[in-house]
Amino acid sequence: MKVTVCKYLNARKSAQIAAECPLYRKPGDTLEISHVLTGTMIEGNAIWYRCSEDGNFYWSGGIMQTVELLQPAISISSFTQEQQLDIYITAANELSADFAAKGGKGFKGLAVGYKSLNEIFTDELSLVFYVSEKDDNTVWPIPAKINHRGLALTTDVRKMRDIILHESTDAIEADEGPNYTMGGSLSEMIGGVAQGFGSRASLVTRRDKYGEQLLLLACFHVACNALFKSGIFTLDNQNRKVSFPSPLRTKQEVSSLLSGTVVEGGYGPGYDYALIDIGQAKLSNRLPDKVNFAGYYTMKELKTKFNKDKVLRKYGAKTLDSVGTFRTLHTTGRDLGKGIVMSGLIETSCMSDKGDSGAPVIDPENNFLVGYIIAGITKGKEIERCSFILPFAALEFKFSIKPHT
């Protein structure tokens, strides 16, 4: 298989970015490829090639996609599950923008998940195409297999309804007592008045030069609701006040509200977070079964330990304790509001509703934190209804926070 280099490209002694670099290739150079494999993920692409002429390895992102490259593709059945996930994630990252530009109005996003057959999920991994209507001729037909960078990938097609951020416009009943509850509700304070909506939050830690700091982790679109509604998506060094628990609109009034300051936060393609300084607030844990985080899943562990039958448990402010099953590890091209396209989300069966944003999601087998609820779809057939989770590992890597254990 002969390919053409499209940008200056380093040769490596293995499919790792840290491997020895004996030479480089320039645009226009041709290579004879003998093997397709996975290696270091660069710019969302983990596919590498081995050159039969010099024995070196080359990142596929520097190789032009040609007709010859897309001739009869290689099966990925011999790859491990983690390697297959990296291959599918690469395809989702690279193809999402192309389909958004060329696929017409019916294309709504790509995901890496299990193929569905007669609305039942199978054990086969697939590249999931989400569309507004399955018979939309501006997108279809999508073949059962596509060749991506020389590899044969299975496809699936699913109807996607509009996604709703799971904030609530109504006050949510707080847990009894003035102390913060891990997973308890919170509301934004504007002009000294607590607004009428609520969410959950999780206790996390972050170490700086002054030591370890305790913070609450919540969704930006809830904790900074006023900024979000006005189209301002980063905190930009201005503090926002929040109260917790959220105010009650019941027969009994909350005698004492604790307040905190959002010290960092933002809403963008890969995150929806707010970190809240809780000061000297006394903390307590009133989650069912006194659940405490025992740790969290890294991205590598999510790839190797999760399957379609994996049960996850969430603690929401609106729907409280509920479970769902894992569906997809990586989604891209999802417009979750304000025109910002989110990526890297986990999809589960529907286990949340409006008011559950920020709800921590754990593995009930070991109490490891998976992430937290940000959005979902609550209408339609069972296969169409779902919840979306932002993986904690993505935030840990970017913002150096840890779940409080």
pLDDT digits (tens, 9 = 90+) for 103-162: 556 777 888 989 988 888 898 999 998 887 766 455 556 888 888 888 889 999 888 777
Q: What is the mean pLDDT of the chain?
A: 81
Which CATH number is 2-71 given? 2.30.30
Is 81-159 the same fold as 2-71? no
Q: Which range among 60-69, 147-156, 169-178 shows the weakest confidence by mean pLDDT?
A: 169-178
Q: Rg of the chain's alpha carbons, rounded to an integer?
A: 23
Q: Which helix (H) or strand (E) holds 69?
A: none
- Spatial separation of the C-alpha atoms in residues 333 and 96, rounded to whole Å: 6
Tell me the per-residue pLDDT of 223-276, one tens digit each, with 9 for 90 and over. Answer: 888 888 888 888 877 778 887 766 654 444 444 567 788 888 999 888 899 998
Spans of all domains in the chain: 2-71, 81-159, 180-284, 291-400
**What would be the CATH architecture of the domain defined by 81-159?**
2-Layer Sandwich (3.30)
Please tell me the pTM assigned to this model: 0.81
Residue 181 near residue 284 (C-beta atoms within 8 A): yes
Are 200 and 304 in contact by the 8 Å Cβ rule? The answer is no
Q: Please state, in angstroms and rounded to a whole number, the distance separating the CA atoms of residues 93 and 43.
A: 9
Domain spanning 291-400: CATH 2.40.10.10: yes
**Other CB atoms within 10 A of residue 90 CB:** 25
